[in-house]
Amino acid sequence: MSKSINWKNLGFEYRPTNCFVMSEYRNGRWGTLKTQKDPYVRLHIGATCLHYGQACFEGLKAFSQKNGGIALFRPDANARRLGDSARRIAMIAPPVELFVKAVTMAVKKNREFVPPYGTRASLYVRPLLIGATPRIGLQPADDYLFLVMVTPAGPYYKHGFSPVNAIVQDEYDRAAPRGVGNVKVAGNYAAGLLGGLTAKKKGYAVELYLDSAERKFVDEFGTSNFFGITKTGHYVTPASTSVLPSITNLSLQQIARDLGMPVEKRRIAFSELPKFKEIGACGTAAVITPIYSIANGKKVITFGKPDQAGQTLTELFTTLQQIQYGEIKDPHGWMVRI
């Protein structure tokens, strides 16, 4: 199977691999990790994940590096974030050590599906935590399944690292203040599906959500965090209780500091956007998607050139990718060798 894959033309879609890894939480403890070849999970019809949305997940990548090895990008950070998500919806998360062991095991068991160095592709790793206890009344599960699947993946967008047009989504809210927008629970993404589809029908690659309370401040894009580079050279990203703390965004902030850029996390009024020279959407799947324009009603704000990413976004993107592929020094110890 892996020999027939066209590594340089991978899209961002599911492809079958050898197996997935799983552990069960029963009687107050996590069980031994095991692998399963059959890509189906047996669940009780009354499981809380099906009825009450007790489901959260993560996304990270493994990379073939220049020296011939394979490394995961910041799996401990994903483990901690899964813990935050689980606590918010009353679930039991696997300990950090078990999480890292599970994702490492999943990569090892599917080693031949890690795209070769030089293809600029990666192995996408998807840990998933779901409530398995049958409930009719609204209450959390006692039993949980922790699953880790992997699939080789190319760029999230077919056009790769090049600018796209965005639109403010004013028909639907993505998340509510003090809700669950700041954690990676499954329901967040279901809530954003219709907003994303309507944006694409209008010809836009991505939608931007403003705060649902006042609709004056930037929250995040439908698939990823918002960040911008001001005309004075500051890296700015929203401070909002409705925004997921993207590990990619946190990493880019550190790289920006390393490059001598001031970094600000604060409320960003939509009316302030003309003061930015570059805008990006950032996340695990796409890393950075440069934004050329943002439409809001009849008003359209543009940033840079329609066919070329800005200089700062390009430098940030290139630096992070070079760290992930082992092409430059990893000063913060982000890469975990398999």
Model confidence over 207-234: pLDDT tens digits?
A: 999 999 999 999 999 989 999 999 999 9
What 3-state class would DSSP assign to 183? Answer: coil
**Averaged pLDDT for residues 3-30:** 94
Whole-number pLDDT of residue 192: 94
Looking at per-residue pLDDT, the higher value among 150 and 160 belongs to 150
What 3-state class would DSSP assign to 83? Answer: helix
Tell me the two tokens of residue 297: 């009603």
Q: Is 40 exposed, middle or buried (0-12, 13-18, 19+ CB in 10 A)?
A: exposed
The radius of gyration of the chain's CA atoms, rounded to the nearest angstrom, is 20
**Averaged pLDDT for residues 321-335:** 98
CA distance 174 to 168: 12
Q: Nearest 5°: CA angle at 9, between 290 and 57? A: 65
**Of the listed ranges 71-75, 143-147, 152-156, 315-319, the one predicted with least confidence:** 152-156
Per-residue pLDDT for 8 more than 90? no
Tell me the two tokens of residue 97: 């050590």
CA distance 148 to 129: 9
**Averaged pLDDT for residues 285-313:** 97
Question: Chain-wide mean pLDDT for the chain?
Answer: 96
Query: pLDDT tens across 89-139, in order?
Result: 999 999 999 999 999 999 999 999 999 999 999 999 999 999 999 999 999
CA distance 195 to 215: 15
Across the chain, how many H-helices and E-strands are there?
A: 6, 18
Whole-number pLDDT of residue 155: 85
Instruction: Describe the crossing of helices 75-88 and 247-258 by its angle, rounded to 10 degrees.
Output: 130
In single-letter form, the type of residue at position 30 comes to W
Q: Name the CATH superfamily, with its identifier, for domain 164-324.
A: D-amino Acid Aminotransferase, subunit A, domain 2 (3.20.10.10)
Per-residue pLDDT for 5 more than 90? yes
What is the fold of 2-153? D-amino Acid Aminotransferase; Chain A, domain 1 (3.30.470)
In single-letter form, the type of residue at position 119 comes to T
Distance of CA 272 to the CA centre of its chain: 26
* Contact call for residues 181 and 241 (beta carbons, < 8 A): yes
- Local confidence band at 1 (pLDDT 50, 70, 90 cut-offs): low
**Sign of the Cα pseudo-torsion (43, 78, 252, 226, in order):** positive
Per-residue pLDDT for 40 more than 90? yes
Helix, strand, coil percentages, rounded to 5, for the chain:
25, 30, 45
- Domain residue extents for the chain: 2-153, 164-324
**Of the listed ranges 117-131, 150-164, 251-265, 312-326, the one predicted with least confidence:** 150-164
Whole-number pLDDT of residue 159: 77
Whole-number pLDDT of residue 316: 98
* Contact call for residues 43 and 116 (beta carbons, < 8 A): no
**Averaged pLDDT for residues 237-260:** 97
Tell me the two tokens of residue 212: 């649902």
Place of tokens 């902030």: 253
